[in-house]
Amino acid sequence: MDLVFEYILTVPFALFVFVLVTLKSSIKFVPQNRAWIIERFGKYQSTKEAGINFIIPFVDKVSADRSLKEQAYDVPSQAAITKDNISLTVDGVLYFRVLDPYKATYGVEDYVFAVTQLAQTTMRSEIGKIDLDKTFEERDMLNAKIVTSINEAAESWGVAVLRYEIKDITPPGTIMEAMESQMKAERERRAKILESDGEKQAAINIAEGEKRARVLQAEAEKQEQVLRAEGEAKAILAVADAQAEALKVVGEAAATDEGQKAIQLDLATKAIEAKQAIAKESSVVLLPDGSTDIGNVVAQATTILNTLNKN
């Protein structure tokens, strides 16, 4: 009875354990950006993507785990010969990702090795089509051509090459020395051109400055002459106006009795001064009779003035 009882207790427990193991084996959690290839009896059955998935225990199995992330692989250094027969050492970095896990698993044995080898051969082929100088000048174009060529061949592998970057291009030592000499000569040539352009521009600036200074000086002299002429003209007009005003005042004063007396006095004074001047210049002075009398001189001047007033 004890053996029967133990057997009854053991069978449900074993069954529970079996069910638990089966459920655990049938439930699969695929991580994000990964894909699992499921085979059933050795044959492809399905591709399980991120999330919870179910398989048949002991029948289905995960044959491959493929990453769907972008991957970067270093392309080993290799020798390549340019179109002008110069040997170069070139290395690069390849960026690609798996687009079709089924093709990446069954289309090629090792897609990483296949893609990197294809990148090497394509790079050698593309470098052989151009000269040495263009390998440095047209590196972006060279990278684009390599990516295009690889994608055409890698399509059947379920892999897409996103970009290829050439890290370093190393020519032989003699070529490096020649290139350095050429670059040095080119830098010196550019420096001389820049120096001559600077001197030329400086001379132009100096000439322009002198020209501008002369123009400004001429304009200043012209303006000064104009202002001086205007000043002189205004001065002449002012003098003329003053003289005219003075003559007007004298004329108005001469028309009165007091003015006549003042004129007579002025004439007498001037006559005396004239005779004194003549006496100083000559020792002999001839005068008409009675002309030495001051009254006669004033009378003569008054007669002349009255005659002028009548006329």
Extents of the domains making up the chain: 2-67, 71-171, 178-255, 256-310
Least confident of 3-17, 88-102, 113-127, 159-173: 3-17
Q: What percent of the chain has pLDDT over 70?
A: 71
The pLDDT of residue 167: 84
DSSP codes, 174-207: HHHHHHHHHHHHHHHHHHHHHHHHHHHHHHHHHH
- Tell me the mean pLDDT in the region 284-290: 49
The pLDDT of residue 281: 61
pTM of the complete model beyond 0.75: no
Asked if pLDDT for residue 65 goes beyond 70, the answer is: yes
Asked if pLDDT for residue 251 goes beyond 80, the answer is: no
Instruction: Give residue-wise pLDDT tens across range 135-188.
Output: 877 888 888 888 988 888 888 888 998 989 888 888 877 776 766 777 778 888
The pLDDT of residue 196: 85
> Under a CB-based contact definition with an 8 Å cutoff, are residues 65 and 34 in contact?
yes
Asked if pLDDT for residue 51 goes beyond 80, the answer is: yes
The pLDDT of residue 82: 86
Asked if pLDDT for residue 6 goes beyond 60, the answer is: no
pLDDT band at 95 (very low <50, low <70, confident <90, very high): very high
Asked if pLDDT for residue 229 goes beyond 70, the answer is: yes
Q: What percent of the chain has pLDDT over 90?
A: 2
pLDDT band at 260 (very low <50, low <70, confident <90, very high): low
Q: With CA atoms as reference, report the closest residue to 85 among 171, 187, 204, 197.
A: 171
* CA-based R_g, the chain, Å: 62
pLDDT band at 18 (very low <50, low <70, confident <90, very high): low
Looking at the structure, give the CATH architecture of the domain made up of residues 71-171. Answer: 2-Layer Sandwich (3.30)
pLDDT band at 123 (very low <50, low <70, confident <90, very high): confident
What CA–CA distances, in Å, run from 241 to 237, 248, 250, 253?
6, 10, 14, 18
Tokens for 297, please give them. 């001189």
- Tell me the mean pLDDT in the region 92-97: 90
Burial of 108 (0-12, 13-18, 19+ CB in 10 A): middle
Asked if pLDDT for residue 25 goes beyond 80, the answer is: no
Q: What are phi and psi of 6, to 5 degrees?
A: -65, -35
